[in-house]
Structure 1
């Protein structure tokens, strides 16, 4: 569940949304071995996201960083409402292939996750049957056994454009937090150096030598 405002979405986050949307269909396949119409809305939304990734967001290496189609408020006969196609049939075919690949990838990811964590899925079902609604803390407790999946391979828009190994600059808040952590660690190290072993024997002060006075 999002806890802060977001103004942009990464490609990996969109892939997460696709896999999440395919979860209902995969659950039907795993549990009942027969899909129903119940997942139709999720599939519709996921397909729309995948198509936007290819035609609007430039997230397809095959199609490239181009905006395909013209948005319009008018409806034209034989065309989608509010959308005019301004590209060839061959490009449209490539778009369809890319969208299908994204959907297949999401379908497979959802299947792998639910197959691995079938016990968690069954626990969630039992809790929903008993309580009907669950809050964030209850959901977190149910999904606690689920480990985070390995990161996906880095996506390249082209094999000729590699990934830079130079990290992004730190924001002022990140820099302040880093400096505070560094100073705190340094202070702890300095304090550790000043501490003495409580079990060690105390050291005796150096002897004081008193010179005898000459008697006149």
Structure 2
């Protein structure tokens, strides 16, 4: 059992760094998927807009065809707004920055493990306290220099993935947080468009 308070502090630092690393890897994965989903969504909405101009004579009555210029203009404006909004979020860049931060944190964990090993074997060149201060400063520097931060949803995903007290519910919670919650706006928009199209073409 560890009794040295400095060793305990090092082990605590390692645990904190490892948790941050996993959360930021998860954030990077989420943002990469969100970027892909955003690109696909804009493409699909654009196809919807084109479809309004191609198929009206087949499916719609004359009254409904008279509404098409207005509907087509609204769809085009909607696609433009969504495109600008999604582009401003910078999902790909944030994912890249968080992934790089995770790699640096992985390297920091290796350094902490090396210090603990050298302490056990008695080959540590400097004092354990000095090494702890250096490692803490490096951890803080990595966080400060990272331009992007993870979101609370990434923290929740990590907690549910390691929490065994929830039993069989844990993977369900984790899957829901991973695959549904962050993308609910995209899913809602697709469903809304589908309902509108179904109403116009098949009523």
TM range (shorter): under 0.3
Larger radius of gyration: 1
TM-score (norm 2): 0.25
Point out which structure has higher relative CO (alpha carbons under 8 A, 6+ apart).
2
Q: Which has the higher helix share?
A: 2
